[in-house]
Structure 1
Amino acid sequence: MQLSNIKVPAEQVSFLQAVRQGLGQQQGLFFPTSWPKLDIEALLAMPMVERSAAILKALIGDELSAAEVGEMVAKAFTFAAPLAPVTDDISCLELFHGPTLAFKDFGGRFMAQALAKAQGGRKTTIVTATSGDTGAAVAHAFYKQPGVQVVILFPKGKISPLQEKLFTTLGENITTLAVEGDFDQCQALVKQVFDHKALVEKLSINSANSINISRLFAQICYYFEAVAQVPAEKRSQVVIAVPSGNFGNLTAGLIAKALGLPIKRMVAATNVNDTVPRYWRSGQWQPKPTVATLSNAMDVAAPNNWPRVEALLAQGMIARSDIETSMVDEDDTVLGVRLLSQLGYVSEPHAAVAYKALKRSLQDGEYGIFLGTAHPAKFKEQVENILGTPLALPEALARCAAEQGLSIDIPADFAVLQQELLKLEQR
């Protein structure tokens, strides 16, 4: 499959080229201009790994064999994505059963496999920004992978302590930089890196954010897994609510719908960083300064994946009516966590945002799914404060909670970041 740069359509690359580059000219995102035809019913009858391999092979095309894609998926998707019932007509798609207890494990682990194919043994440096879960997923996916250095930027003091410990305690080939600023400033620094062509070439720099097409493609697969678990008689009435920050997750769901998966509509649920809901109403793209919230991984004022949503609309693959947007404030987020607990389901602020947006949207006869993007224990302090009851730590978090963080504090200054990157040459 050929992929086109959304900003510079003349730049056409293959899947593995896009994986290797990350971003195109003028920081453009790579995206398909045509889509495969899929046998949806046959796919929904398959086990998750087999189905995911078939979907990804169709998206990637002939560049990789079915056996190669199957092996990559089998190595990446070693955990389940169960649909947990909350009420008769609402379930949570639990995407936090991977090694770092967050949905980013799907994309991060598949990208590690794809980049190994794309690099062909050549050294590479991954520079990525995280608002929470990306950092851990990418760090663990590439930890000790030969020929790969990983540099993760995160906003100092603006992600949960347990989220931070999951990726700042590893060391080895993982460098973590605590930036004095917010996520948007971290993301801006990453973009500056990609604008510095000499630096990119010198260190063979790539990115592992959802801007990398391999991560986005991997995320499509768990939407199929969600619908496969819905009773057949309810599949025509599925509404899915997505907690949305950088909008890669929503984009993946919209692609799944465009490929034919029976999703009635997608609900893009944001916190008070509501650039997209305001844009959807007014037609004016007006990011405001980022506000810190309980759902901190969604504290993104200028979501980088939104141009891909616009591309799907322009291609006619989705309609405006396929998307509903909803802003959930802090009071409603707290209420969402409490309501879910009263229903016997312990959750966390990001999923609570999606749950509240879904409740607003859901009509009689519809079947609602909201995405559980992280284990509630990753937000132990917030959840315990809201519910007033202690929350046990799963083994993965308990193991790293007492370890020493190894991050380096830096200002939001490109010159300082460049110095840190150049130090990697000596490793």
Structure 2
Amino acid sequence: MKAYSTRGQAPAIPIAEAIAAGLAADGGLYLPEHWPQFKPADFDGAGTLAEIGLRLLQPFFEGGALETALPGICERTLAIDPPLVAFGNKSDFLLELFHGPTAAFKDYAAGFLSGCLSALPRGEKDLTILVATSGDTGAAVAAAFHNLPGFRVAILYPDGRVAPRQAHQLGSFGGNVCALRVDGNFDDCQRLAKTLLADTEFRRRVPLGSANSISLGRLLPQISYYAHAALGHWRNSGTKLNFVIPTGNLGNALACVLARRMGLPIGEIALASNANSVLPEFFAGADYAPRPGIATLANAMDVGAPSNFERLQALYPDPAELRQQLRAEAVSDAQIRAAIARSLAQRGQIICPHTACAAEVLDRLRARGESGDWAVVATAHPAKFPDVVEPLIGRPVPVPASLAAMLARPSHADPLPDAVEALKVALLSNAKPQKPALSAGDG
């Protein structure tokens, strides 16, 4: 299958090439030329995430450079079945996507992307994976590519705008991974990455790849865990599962939309934003009006110009039709705090600030009389945010072993001004792998 650019000014190319390229030559985002259609019965005999993911993704890769590698990639990178657990009553559920190596949902897609890029032929120079992160993406990508021959990783994150434990993770890898703390917000980091990825002259000097959700190799595998959760629920109850998804850059939410578009038994999809309310305003009827992101407790969602909105517009060019696909609501910091405290008191679950946005929206839906079975998507482990969570619940949050190991390592990140030329200098000077400095961390 081929992929086309959302901007229509670049030629369609095979899916494998689109994954390797990241961004289209015209600055657009790649989308598959068509979407395979499935029925629940098409997945009979497939129960694990890896098995369902393989059946779901095979049509995209059939006849391409990654066809023979796909089974092994799915087996390795979709090996952890995400639990769908009770969330207070028989109709509310929590989809736990945080059981990977960096305790965030990004681990699934980052691992899949590294598997794809490792299986594709590359030039003699190392490929630098350039990734902008608002908190979790960078660590997941670093873990997926750490010490992988032929690759380097450059992480751009907004200085002072990620949680302390997230910042420590980002700088804790060393080796072929460098962390750059940018003097700006996430949208600035994303703009720097996109600008350089579109610079063909610089890419001849330093081969670049993308691991943000602009990459098709990040988007496609995320469809798998929505298919897995929806099929499991369908098999148990015979009903469609609705989702409330915390969202910033829209990649995770888009994956759920695509799973439903491909015929999986998914009902309504509600988006939960933090105080960055661009999406709630659009879905309420206003024009799409991106703006600079503002800092909130749910920092990984501090996005004022979500990249994947361009993909949504390409799939649903009519704004009225697009607004029929989703609903969206904004959640304030005060409401995040209340939702965290309420989740433990009423549901017996400790949740992170991002998951709390979705829990708050679910509570609003129930208060309005919304029926059906709903799953809140838990995107990160609450132990990544002790400064926010622990004072609200009055006790420490147990730290997963993989996260504890990262926090035990030294951490280092270099400062970077919000300037493309400064980023070019940093990437050129980082031609050889670096080791982390012996510091206590970035705080």
TM-score w.r.t. structure 2 length?
0.92
Is the Cα contact below 8 Å between 2:38 and 2:264 reproduced in 1? no
The one-letter amino acid of 2:213's match is S
CA-to-partner distance for each residue in 1:8-43, whole Å, 9 max, x for gaps? 255211111111110012310000231112242232
SS in structure 1 opposite 2:38? coil
Selected match of 1:358 from 341, 357, 362: 362
The one-letter amino acid of 1:36's match is P
User: Who is 1:229 aligned against?
Assistant: 232
- Which deviates further from its counterpart, 129-138 or 392-401? 392-401
Is the Cα contact below 8 Å between 1:21 and 1:206 reproduced in 2? yes
- Which deviates further from its counterpart, 331-340 or 362-371? 362-371
Q: Following the alignment from structure 1 to structure 2, what is the Cα–Cα distance between the partners of residues 271 and 229?
A: 29
User: Who is 2:415 aligned against?
Assistant: 409
The one-letter amino acid of 2:362's match is L
SS in structure 1 opposite 2:4? strand
User: Who is 2:430 aligned against?
Assistant: 424
- Which deviates further from its counterpart, 171-180 or 278-287? 278-287
**Which runs of structure 2 are paired with 1:157-172 in the superposition (5 Å)?**
157-172=160-175
- Which deviates further from its counterpart, 402-411 or 63-72? 63-72
For the pair 1:375 / 2:377, whether they are aligned, the reply is no
User: Who is 2:18 aligned against?
Assistant: 18
CA-to-partner distance for each residue in 1:199-257, whole Å, 9 max, x for gaps? 11221101100111011001000001111331546453421011000000011000000
The one-letter amino acid of 1:225's match is H
- Which deviates further from its counterpart, 243-252 or 66-75? 66-75
Q: Following the alignment from structure 2 to structure 1, what is the Cα–Cα distance between the partners of residues 60 and 331?
A: 34
**Which runs of structure 2 are paired with 1:114-133 in the superposition (5 Å)?**
114-120=116-122, 122=124, 123-133=126-136
Q: Following the alignment from structure 1 to structure 2, what is the Cα–Cα distance between the partners of residues 281 and 315?
A: 15
**How has the CA–CA distance of structure 1 residues 65 and 289 changed in structure 2, closer, same or farther, with 3 Å as cutoff?**
closer
- Which deviates further from its counterpart, 190-199 or 242-251? 190-199
Is the Cα contact below 8 Å between 1:265 and 1:321 reproduced in 2? no
**Which runs of structure 2 are paired with 1:201-240 in the superposition (5 Å)?**
201-230=204-233, 232=235, 234-240=237-243
Selected match of 2:156 from 143, 149, 153: 153
- Which deviates further from its counterpart, 81-90 or 38-47? 38-47
SS in structure 1 opposite 2:178? strand
For the pair 1:344 / 2:345, whether they are aligned, the reply is no
For the pair 1:384 / 2:390, whether they are aligned, the reply is yes
User: Who is 1:331 aligned against?
Assistant: 334
Instruction: Kindly tell me the number of residue pairs found equivalent between the two proteins.
Output: 426
Is the Cα contact below 8 Å between 1:237 and 1:365 reproduced in 2? no
Per-residue deviation, 1:119: 3.3
User: Who is 1:91 aligned against?
Assistant: 93
Is the Cα contact below 8 Å between 2:69 and 2:119 reproduced in 1? no
Per-residue deviation, 1:97: 0.6
Is the Cα contact below 8 Å between 2:50 and 2:74 reproduced in 1? yes
SS in structure 1 opposite 2:422? helix
Q: Identity across aligned pairs (percent)? A: 32
The one-letter amino acid of 1:306's match is F
Is the Cα contact below 8 Å between 1:235 and 1:262 reproduced in 2? no
CA-to-partner distance for each residue in 1:37-89, whole Å, 9 max, x for gaps? 22422326512211111111122232157542111111112222000111211
Is the Cα contact below 8 Å between 1:162 and 1:397 reproduced in 2? no
Q: Following the alignment from structure 1 to structure 2, what is the Cα–Cα distance between the partners of residues 289 and 365?
A: 36
SS in structure 2 opposite 1:371? strand
Per-residue deviation, 1:120: 4.3
The one-letter amino acid of 1:344's match is G
Is the Cα contact below 8 Å between 2:249 and 2:307 reproduced in 1? yes
Q: Following the alignment from structure 2 to structure 1, what is the Cα–Cα distance between the partners of residues 67 and 417?
A: 46
SS in structure 1 opposite 2:239? helix
Is the Cα contact below 8 Å between 1:264 and 1:322 reproduced in 2? no
Selected match of 1:397 from 396, 403, 414: 403
User: Who is 1:100 aligned against?
Assistant: 102
The one-letter amino acid of 1:78's match is A
SS in structure 1 opposite 2:63? helix
SS in structure 1 opposite 2:62? helix
Q: Following the alignment from structure 1 to structure 2, what is the Cα–Cα distance between the partners of residues 261 and 45?
A: 16
- Which deviates further from its counterpart, 248-257 or 44-53? 44-53
Per-residue deviation, 1:364: 4.9
Instruction: Structure 2: give runs of 5+ residues left out of the alignment.
Output: 434-443
CA-to-partner distance for each residue in 1:350-371, whole Å, 9 max, x for gaps? 0010111123235554000011
The one-letter amino acid of 2:20's match is R
Is the Cα contact below 8 Å between 2:292 and 2:303 reproduced in 1? no
**How has the CA–CA distance of structure 1 residues 320 and 285 changed in structure 2, closer, same or farther, with 3 Å as cutoff?**
closer
Q: Following the alignment from structure 1 to structure 2, what is the Cα–Cα distance between the partners of residues 281 and 301?
A: 17
Please provide the CA RMSD for this pair: 1.9
The one-letter amino acid of 2:23's match is L
**How has the CA–CA distance of structure 1 residues 240 and 27 changed in structure 2, closer, same or farther, with 3 Å as cutoff?**
same
The one-letter amino acid of 1:20's match is A
SS in structure 2 opposite 1:236? coil
The one-letter amino acid of 2:55's match is A
**How has the CA–CA distance of structure 1 residues 20 and 233 changed in structure 2, closer, same or farther, with 3 Å as cutoff?**
closer
Q: Following the alignment from structure 2 to structure 1, what is the Cα–Cα distance between the partners of residues 407 and 374?
A: 35
**Which runs of structure 2 are paired with 1:260-339 in the superposition (5 Å)?**
260-314=263-317, 320-339=323-342
For the pair 1:111 / 2:113, whether they are aligned, the reply is yes
Per-residue deviation, 1:169: 1.1
Is the Cα contact below 8 Å between 1:45 and 1:228 reproduced in 2? no
